[in-house]
Structure 1
C-alpha cells in the first residue's frame, strides 16, 4: 500500500529536516535507495512517512469523554438491526476467493 503522504512534487517541499547518520547507516540507505530507484531523500522521506503512518495506525488507546464512552457502550449494547446492504455484501465471495 503506498503511503498517504507521497513524496512526489519536489517544488511543494518547504520544510527542512536534518539528521545525522553513521557512515554505515548512510551506506545502507543509499544502497536501498538505489535498489528502489529513488533518490536518497525520496527513499528516506517515503520510509519515514510509512513508519510514521504505521505508528499512528497502531495506536490502541483511545481517550474519550465520559459522555462519548457511554454513547459508545450504548451502541454496543443495542440490539442487532437488520442491514440489507451488509447482508448483500456478505453474500458475495471476496474477489481474492474467486477462482
Structure 2
C-alpha cells in the first residue's frame, strides 16, 4: 500500500521560523521532516489523551468495588513501597 503525499501550507511568524530553523540545523533533518515529525508527535499525544474506556453501571460498580477493596498481602509490593525512590537516596 503506497502513501500519497499531500501539500500542507502555512505561515509562521519570523521568530518561530527562526527557532525552528535553529533546531533543524542541529537535528540533521530538513525543515519539512522536522515540522512533520513534531506535529505527528503532538497529534499522537493528543489522541492518546482521548483514549477512554466505557463501563456500564454494573461494570462501574464492580470496578469501584475493586478500587475500594483492601489489598491482599503482597510481599513484593510491600518491598517495592518500602524502597526509597532513586531521588530520595
Shorter-chain TM-score category?
0.5 to 0.7
Q: Which runs of 5+ in 2 are unaligned?
A: none
In 2, Cα distance between the equivalents of 1:14 and 1:52?
Answer: 19
Structure with greater Cα Rg = 2
Q: Aligned residues, how many?
A: 85
- Scaled by the length of structure 2, the TM-score of the pair is 0.63
In 2 relative to 1, CA 90–23 (structure 1 residues): closer, same or farther, beyond 3 Å? Answer: closer
Which has a greater percent of helix? Answer: 2
User: Are 1:19 and 2:28 matched, yes or no?
Assistant: no
Instruction: State the TM-score, normalizing by the size of structure 1.
Output: 0.58
RMSD: 3.0
Structure with the bigger RCO (C-alpha within 8 Å, sep 6+) is 1
